[in-house]
Amino acid sequence: MSDIFKTLKGLFVVQTPTEGETTESTDKTNSAKSDTPANSATSGSTPTTPVGKASEKFYDILLASMEANNQEGFDYLEYKKSLQTLSKMPMDEQTRYFSAFAAAQAMGVTSQKLTDSANFYLKVLAAEDSKFQESVNAQRQKQIGNKEKAIADMDATIKAKAEQITRLTQEIQAHQTDMEKMKAEISDAVVKIETTLSDFHATFNELTAQISKDVENMAKYLK
């Protein structure tokens, strides 16, 4: 880590409370949370975007971009360092800013130059934000977008198969109805055929019995 980078961290990084410590803002946040009904996450619900908090990791990234674009001579960063030094002295904010500017004027720096320099670093940070956003969008597409597409495809497949199941169920029911109808037709046909056969045999037996009787009588009476 370079000396300039360490200086930048000293100028901008605000130490976060350690475990067990609380700040007024944290207390307010916790109070607000306690007053708000908890919304439990349910399957398929839109996840709640978490409240962001300053991170040393991202400070390192942003300050590194400022270090890489550090302007020559006395600029906003040197002015910021003067402000930090004066912050340890008993003076109001206006006096502190003016006193730091007096030191800058001694080096031929105008207020416009300091403002332009600060705006320059804001543009540097904005460019870093844009790059980070592009990276996040790429990860979002990779980790979320592709899965959302897969979910949409699965949903379409499920609907198609559900429709297919419905169609097959209807076809099965139709086949069962046809099968029962055929069974009834078979039963009716069996009854008709057996009845016809029985009627035929009854008629056959009756007729052959008559003829047999005549044969018997002829044999008896025609000698």
- pLDDT tens digits for range 52-62: 787 788 888 88
Is 123 within the bounds of a domain? yes
- pLDDT band with cut points at 50, 70 and 90 for residue 206: very high
Average pLDDT, the chain: 82
Is 42 within the bounds of a domain? no
Is 16 within the bounds of a domain? no
Q: If you ran DSSP here, which 8-state letter would residue 55 be given? A: -
Is 191 within the bounds of a domain? no
Is 20 within the bounds of a domain? no
**pTM for the full predicted model:** 0.52
Residue 120 and residue 71 in contact, taking contact as beta carbons nearer than 8 Å? yes
Is 195 within the bounds of a domain? no
- Give me the number of domains the chain comprises: 1
Q: Going by C-beta distance under 8 Å and a sequence separation of 6 or more, which residues neighbour residue 76? A: 114, 117, 118, 120, 121
- The residue with greater pLDDT, 16 or 157, is 157
Give the residue numbers spanning the domain of 133.
1-7+54-178
What does the pLDDT read at residue 17? 44
Tell whether the model's pLDDT for residue 12 goes beyond 50: yes
- pLDDT band with cut points at 50, 70 and 90 for residue 168: very high
Is 210 within the bounds of a domain? no
Is 193 within the bounds of a domain? no
